């Protein structure tokens, strides 16, 4: 609530001819991003798990914006096979991807495993989005000035205390929903920096960045809201921001002309479109490479026929 707004919806340029995929965009800040980008004539793909909710969001956005280029494609981030089906279906329909916004996520949920045996938070927030991005790279790389936005969190700071132990990352013993969330959000930043570095090394001009949306009042907090005291709830009502404000940092990275003119790559931004501070853990090149190697190892174990990232 104390940040000045350096970006706003009216600064989003015309996005005619551009195509965006936004994960988890049937609700929350993802839906706001989809709505505002569609309002600026972008072709938007609502990538979410539940068809009824996804189609409802498509209908609403079309009605509000008058933009008919809004479509739903099913994506369940708790299933690597679903991620693969989504990517294959997308590439069969489209030959370009200007903006990939890896927005969907879960926060501080009870311990659980995906259908691939991955812990829910780390599997959803990082591994599934890593896999999705790698699968979509062929169309991203051939789209001029394409952008990738990974939605992280200030919660990445918990990694400064816990680090990431890949040997125990999917185990229930010792599971802390708070620290696990922090690890997954640290992974978003590490992935951003390593992917950006590898694309630069390959000579591909893609703008890969990540952001902290702010402390947003949305469905993301559904696993912790019932545990709050009355005083904490009052505090949150005063200190949290709306989904509209929470969408601004990632909309800045996805749409602002400044990202190209200032050559913003591999960076972490905060509300409302400003460079942010990160803990030393996510600045480490070794930690970024270790995460990349672990992600590749997991995909080769879990996905039959996966040949590895083309980077």
Strands 268-270 and 274-275: antiparallel
Give residue 216's pLDDT: 79
> What would the two tokens of residue 300 be?
């080769």
Neighbours of 30 (CB within 10 A): 29
Instruction: State yes or no: pLDDT of 168 exceeds 50.
Output: yes
What SS3 state is found at 306? coil
Instruction: Give the CATH number of domain 13-302; options: 3.40.50.970, 3.40.50.720, 3.60.10.10, 3.40.50.300.
Output: 3.40.50.720
Ranges of beta strands (E only) in 194-309 are: 207-211, 268-270, 274-275
What SS3 state is found at 57? helix
Give residue 4's pLDDT: 75
* Contact residues for 214 (Cβ-Cβ < 8 A; gap 6+): 3, 240, 241, 245, 246, 249, 270, 271
Chain centroid to Cα 257, Å, comes to: 20
Average pLDDT over residues 105-122: 97
What pLDDT, in 10s, does the model give residues 206-218? 999 999 999 876 4
Give the residue among 127, 182, 159 at the shortest CA–CA distance from 287. Answer: 159
Percent of residues, the chain, with pLDDT higher than 70: 92
* Contact residues for 196 (Cβ-Cβ < 8 A; gap 6+): 206, 208, 209, 265, 266
Query: What's the pTM value of the predicted model, to 2 decimals?
Result: 0.93
Q: How confident is the model at residue 74 (pLDDT cuts 50, 70, 90)?
A: very high
Residues in the chain: 311
Give the residue among 145, 107, 103 at the shortest CA–CA distance from 247. Answer: 103
- Mean pLDDT (the chain) is 93
> What would the two tokens of residue 284 be?
């480490």
- As to burial, measured by CB atoms within 10 angstroms (0-12 exposed, 13-18 middle, 19+ buried), residue 223 is middle
Give the residue among 265, 27, 284 at the shortest CA–CA distance from 149. Answer: 265
First to last CA, the chain: 40
Percent of residues, the chain, with pLDDT higher than 90: 88
Q: Any idea which residues carry the catalytic annotation? A: 181
* Contact residues for 301 (Cβ-Cβ < 8 A; gap 6+): none
Q: How confident is the model at residue 240 (pLDDT cuts 50, 70, 90)?
A: confident
Domain ranges of the chain: 13-302
**What DSSP letter does each residue of 272-297 carry, written as one string?**
TTEE----GGGG-HHHHHHHHHHHHH
What pLDDT, in 10s, does the model give residues 224-233? 444 556 555 5
* Contact indicator for 198, 285 with CB cutoff of 8 Å: no
* Contact indicator for 94, 153 with CB cutoff of 8 Å: no
């Amino acid at each position: 609530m104390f940040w000045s707004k350096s970006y706003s919806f009216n600064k989003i340029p015309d996005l005619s001819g551009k195509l965006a995929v936004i994960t988890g965009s049937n609700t929350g800040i993802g839906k706001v991003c989809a709505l505002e980008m569609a309002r600026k004539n972008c072709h938007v793909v609502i990538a979410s798990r539940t068809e009824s909710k996804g189609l409802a969001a498509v209908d609403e956005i079309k009605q509000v914006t008058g933009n008919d280029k809004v479509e739903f494609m099913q994506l369940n981030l708790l299933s690597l096979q679903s991620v693969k089906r989504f990517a294959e279906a997308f590439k069969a329909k489209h030959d370009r991807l200007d903006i990939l916004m890896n927005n969907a996520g879960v926060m501080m949920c009870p311990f659980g495993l995906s259908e691939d045996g991955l812990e829910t938070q780390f599997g959803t927030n990082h591994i599934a989005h890593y896999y999705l991005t790698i699968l979509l790279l062929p169309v991203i790389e051939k789209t001029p000035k394409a952008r990738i936005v990974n939605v992280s969190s200030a919660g990445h700071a918990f990694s400064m205390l816990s680090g990431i132990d890949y040997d125990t990352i999917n185990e229930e013993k010792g599971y802390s929903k708070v620290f696990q969330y922090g690890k997954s959000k640290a992974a978003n930043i590490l992935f951003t920096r390593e992917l950006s570095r590898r694309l630069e090394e390959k000579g591909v001009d893609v703008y890969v960045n990540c952001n902290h949306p702010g402390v947003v009042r949305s469905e993301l907090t559904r696993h912790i809201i019932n545990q709050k005291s009355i005083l904490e709830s009052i505090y949150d009502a005063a200190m949290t921001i709306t989904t509209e404000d929470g969408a601004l940092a990632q909309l800045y990275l996805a749409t602002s002309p400044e990202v190209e003119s200032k050559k913003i790559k591999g960076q972490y931004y905060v509300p409302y479109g400003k460079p942010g501070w990160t803990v030393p853990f996510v600045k480490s090149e070794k930690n970024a490479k270790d995460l990349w190697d672990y992600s590749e190892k997991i995909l080769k174990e879990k996905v039959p026929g996966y040949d590895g990232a083309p980077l």
